[in-house]
Amino acid sequence: MVDIKDINKVYFLGIGGIGMSALARYFKFHGKEVSGYDKTETPLTKQLVNEGIPVHYDDNLELAPKDAQLIVYTPAIPKGHTEFMYYQQNNYPLLKRSEVLGAITRSSFNICVAGTHGKTTITTMVAHILRHSEYGCNAFLGGIAVNYNSNYWSNERDTCVVEADEYDRSFLRLTPDVAVISAMDPDHLDIYGTTAAMEDAFIEFAGKIKPGGVLISKFGLPRGKDLKAPNQLTYHLNNTQADIYASNIQMQHGTYVFDVQVKDWKLTNVVLNMGGLHNIENVIAAVAIAHRLGISDEKIKAAVEAFRGVRRRFEYVIKDKQITFVDDYAHHPEELRALITGAKGLFGNMKCTVLFQPHLFTRTRDLATEFAEVLDMADEVVLLPIYPARELPIPGVTSNTILDKMKNDHKQVLNKEQLLQWVKEQPGGSSTNTGNGWLLITAGAGDIDTLVQPIKQIIEKK
């Protein structure tokens, strides 16, 4: 294995991925020469270019640096990719993102957050509390922290807060001092094959915790009793059997005030300016970690109140009395359930419309019944065609696979152009059939986020 400290020129294949871009920023911060390839230009790749990291979008050997000393690649890069094959055939050091992250964090104090959902928000909350309180950390996030408009930052303290991704078993490269497991619902079955095999990987991840370390896991996880760690704590929104839970929860139009109970310690009147009860559950895990690190009560509370969220995690696009427009990355049935439940809990009188873009053919095929059941919670649903990401189409698997299983009569599949036209034809918040306004939700992990601003502009012109 190459010694990362000796590397001066790094090239990224798939630099626009959220985890890859954090690593690119890490190397740039440490004075290395960094460049990359991705298949499409995005706001994130534009930002990287503005930060001095060149990015190109053609699979073109002439644009690929021949003097790169390390090639970092994402598992999503097709094996027939010309540049990838060139580097492979010419014996360049080729490492997956997870291998590089494992090497970077090998000797640091690591807080690693895993789970099939919730991990990005918890990771960002932990890193934000450590930064805001001036405790300090190095952060490798799976989303853009709104407070800092970045997914990476650095600090002289040798503490790393890392999103531990279960895809492709990446998180098994990490060595946590503190580990979080937020959920173990079936996902990535294209990689794992069975739910049991995926759960086995989480059990193995818990086994990576260093001696004296701690596991903080969601209370009631499937096979939770199989998770072994030197020290263990459980957390839950409001189940008092858990070691960590919230109490005295009050709602105030998108803001929550609550207490956090951690065994023999209590933090009162915590203010969270973020929607969704699931985000209270996320933040109590982060609060427990901060308390364990010795951060003072007042600093924890100030940090939580100042937290502005993660881009595309229950992100308010419009929020007024007639229309509330929320954008979210939810792409698994349980994430959608938390999103819709949370939104309706806060804005229950409004007509709830969900615009959802399914992500991956395999996930749609494997979880179509669950998606249909959750989407039926909305008053109205519009599905976009499946976003394929790294996959080729599967015959017979389309967004209609979900639509046909839904019981809701107010449902349809539209392409992007049709969807924008449909939004133009909607009456707007004050004249919806409930008379109480419109709760509009866009959700999905594909490129539905490119429609958020166009939809916002249409609504604001009404």
pLDDT by residue (tens digit) across 281-309?
Answer: 999 999 999 999 999 999 999 999 999 99
Domains, in order of start, for the chain: 4-97 (3.40.50.720), 108-306 (3.40.1190.10), 315-461 (3.90.190.20)
Q: 331: closest CA among 384, 281, 268, 408?
A: 384
Does pLDDT of 428 surpass 70?
A: no
DSSP character at residue 313: B
Does pLDDT of 402 surpass 60?
A: yes
The span from the CA of 188 to the CA of 393, in Å, is: 16
Sole residue written with tokens 């818990």: 206
Does pLDDT of 349 surpass 80?
A: yes
pLDDT by residue (tens digit) across 173-207?
Answer: 999 999 999 999 867 666 777 889 989 999 999 99
Which amino acid belongs to residue 52?
G
437 labeled binding residue: no
81 labeled binding residue: no
280 in helix, strand or coil?
A: helix
The span from the CA of 437 to the CA of 462, in Å, is: 14
The span from the CA of 13 to the CA of 197, in Å, is: 29
Task: For residue 73, give both structure tokens.
Answer: 């690649």
Residue 431 has a pLDDT of 43
Residue 250 has a pLDDT of 95
116 labeled binding residue: yes
Query: Is residue 376 very low, low, confident or very high in pLDDT (cuts 50, 70, 90)?
Result: very high
Q: Which residues of 391-412 are buried (b: 16+ CB within 10 A; e: fewer)?
A: beeeeebbbebbbeebeeeebe
Does pLDDT of 430 surpass 60?
A: no
Residue 5 has a pLDDT of 78
- The answer to whether the CB of 24 falls within 8 A of the CB of 36 is yes
pLDDT by residue (tens digit) across 112-124?
Answer: 999 998 999 999 9
The span from the CA of 388 to the CA of 444, in Å, is: 12
254 labeled binding residue: no
CA distances from 307 to 61, 161, 272, 279 (A): 43, 16, 7, 11
User: Which residue has better confidence, 379 or 195?
Assistant: 379
362 labeled binding residue: no
Query: Is residue 231 very low, low, confident or very high in pLDDT (cuts 50, 70, 90)?
Result: very high
- The answer to whether the CB of 303 falls within 8 A of the CB of 260 is no
Residue % of the chain over a pLDDT of 90 = 80
82 labeled binding residue: no
DSSP character at residue 359: B
DSSP character at residue 36: E
Residue 435 has a pLDDT of 64
- Which string of DSSP letters, residue by residue, matches 385-437? PPB-TTPPP-TT-SHHHHHTT---SSEEE--HHHHHHHHHHS--GGGSTTSS-
Does pLDDT of 316 surpass 50?
A: yes
pLDDT by residue (tens digit) across 46-98?
Answer: 999 999 999 999 999 999 999 999 999 998 888 899 999 999 999 999 999 99
Q: Give the sign of the dihedral formed by CA 346, CA 352, CA 355, CA 360.
A: positive
Helical axes 452-461 vs 416-425, angle rounded to 10° = 20
Does pLDDT of 106 surpass 70?
A: yes
Phi, psi of 207 (to 5 degrees): -70, -10
Does pLDDT of 429 surpass 60?
A: no
Which amino acid belongs to residue 158?
D
pTM of the model: 0.84
Task: For residue 427, give both structure tokens.
Answer: 């009456």
- Read off the pLDDT of each residue in 242-253 and give the average, rounded to a whole number: 92
Angle among Cα 395, 398, 401 to the nearest 5 degrees reads 105
The span from the CA of 353 to the CA of 410, in Å, is: 9
CA distances from 116 to 141, 171, 184 (A): 15, 12, 6
- Read off the pLDDT of each residue in 217-222 and give the average, rounded to a whole number: 95
Residue 432 has a pLDDT of 47
- Read off the pLDDT of each residue in 261-274 and give the average, rounded to a whole number: 95
Does pLDDT of 234 surpass 50?
A: yes
pLDDT by residue (tens digit) across 407-418?
Answer: 999 999 999 999
Residue 434 has a pLDDT of 52
pLDDT by residue (tens digit) across 127-145?
Answer: 999 999 999 999 999 999 9
Residue 398 has a pLDDT of 98
Does pLDDT of 100 surpass 60?
A: yes
117 labeled binding residue: yes
Residue % of the chain over a pLDDT of 70 = 96
The span from the CA of 50 to the CA of 63, in Å, is: 19
CB-based contacts of 179, cutoff 8 Å, min separation 6: 111, 112, 113, 114, 164, 205, 206, 208, 209, 213, 214, 215, 216, 229
Residue 4 has a pLDDT of 80
